Structure 1
């Protein structure tokens, strides 16, 4: 059966996930994680890609990555081939390390990118490894908030900071505030076998609705505004609760409560 062609991002930005063959660990110790990040660092120095977020778990990796001098397929091939060579040599093994080809989702809006970065940084919390994002060593979170992180020059954090504010200190604080919000977003995960549908138009509509109410995507939104906007979004698009939660970054249970309350008000 032929493979489905990979969706091309208009922005050149992607959420990429690679995982171990048969769900086995691709990192057995800290040295392995260090080597993977070294490979990312040197490939990035060559201008082959930009890196906006990463999280290394024992059996999979999440990246928010942008194409540079090479397209995403070539970039990921170079990264994975280099790491597999190191891993097989170290552990005196042969054969595949990663499961099939890497998975990817396109990133085509600032709001999606910010939500994705938060989702990536929250992976260790969802797995029960830590209680706060800053506790986990193998993600890019600390690279954003301190120069004393283990990997200070690995990510292109100014791209994200400039989205938030022209003032570097204000941008950093806005980033910290946004990352501190509990996340229930559902992006590509270990159960996803195909890319999710393109919901760019619906996400843009949601952002426009917020702007009409004088709010931005990253702002705390009053409940009455959320109720109005989410209900309108569902009425116009016919999206499911899961899809609305995915687009807006709102907890699925909260979306469900909003829509139930709206339906009740309409019936009264």
Structure 2
């Protein structure tokens, strides 16, 4: 059976997940974790890929990447092959390391990007390991203390700095799901997303702006993943008006 075409992102941002075959361990020790990060760094530079967030779990990996030149599939293939060769040699293992090809989900709005970033950083807490801010194998610490693998400028500028990042990270977790599952958003996150996407000007247009500006704001909310019913509850605007926008 032919493989389905990978869904492309108009923005260039993708949430990428790689899992160990049969959900087996990918990392036997910290040397292997560091080796994987070195490999990502190598192909980030060679393929012009920006790393926005990452998290290494024992048997799977999350990456939030910006594909600047259409090289995502090629870069991920080379990362997977290079790490598999290292892992097999290091662990005296033979055979496949990763389960099938990598999964990816396009990210098309600021709200989706922020929800994805928090979802990635929250993986250790969801697994019952520890809180995101003390887990050593994610980009969380780079956002707080700096680092050279992750491009943190975009998110920090979006949120308003490191303190704002911490406030955002410690807020109620969003209902963002991993690639292959549908996007869901709780109402409290939908409210946060609405203010993040629209800003003060957009919030004003939503209530007092012209029909054109109001409809543009409504389209932005739908594009950010809010459902028609959520927008109706949060804004008081009628469902038919939201649907027509």
The alignment's TM-score, normalised by the length of structure 2, stands at 0.76
Give unmatched runs, 5+ long, in structure 1. Answer: 166-170, 218-224, 238-268
- What per-residue deviation string (whole Å, max 9, x for no partner) do you get for residues 41-97 of structure 1? 222233520000000000000100011345211110011111001001111222111
Match of 1:133 in 2: 132
Question: Do the aligned partners of 1:48 and 1:75 also contact (CA within 8 Å) in 2?
Answer: no
Q: Whole-Å Cα distance in 2 between the matches of residues 186 and 159 of structure 1?
A: 20
Match of 2:224 in 1: none
Q: Whole-Å Cα distance in 2 between the matches of residues 175 and 208 of structure 1?
A: 19
- What per-residue deviation string (whole Å, max 9, x for no partner) do you get for residues 150-181 of structure 1? xx10000012222234xxxxx22111110111
Q: Whole-Å Cα distance in 2 between the matches of residues 99 and 233 of structure 1?
A: 46
Asked if 1:153 corresponds to 2:144, the answer is no
Match of 1:164 in 2: 159
Q: Whole-Å Cα distance in 2 between the matches of residues 65 and 48 of structure 1?
A: 10
What is the correspondence of 1:79-228 to structure 2 with a 5 Å cutoff?
79-130=79-130, 132-147=131-146, 152-165=147-160, 171-188=161-178, 194=180, 196=182, 207=197, 211=203, 212=206, 228=233
* 1:120 positional shift: 0.5
- What per-residue deviation string (whole Å, max 9, x for no partner) do you get for residues 188-237 of structure 1? 16xxxx353799xxx8x9555982369xx9xxxxxxx9993188698856
* 1:135 positional shift: 0.7
* Corresponding pairs, count: 210
RMSD over equivalenced CA pairs, Å: 3.1
The alignment's TM-score, normalised by the length of structure 1, stands at 0.70
What is the correspondence of 1:5-44 to structure 2 with a 5 Å cutoff?
5-44=5-44
Match of 2:64 in 1: 64
Asked if 1:77 corresponds to 2:77, the answer is yes
* 1:109 positional shift: 0.5
Give unmatched runs, 5+ long, in structure 2. Answer: 209-220, 222-229
Q: 1:58 to 1:66 in 2, by over 3 A?
A: same
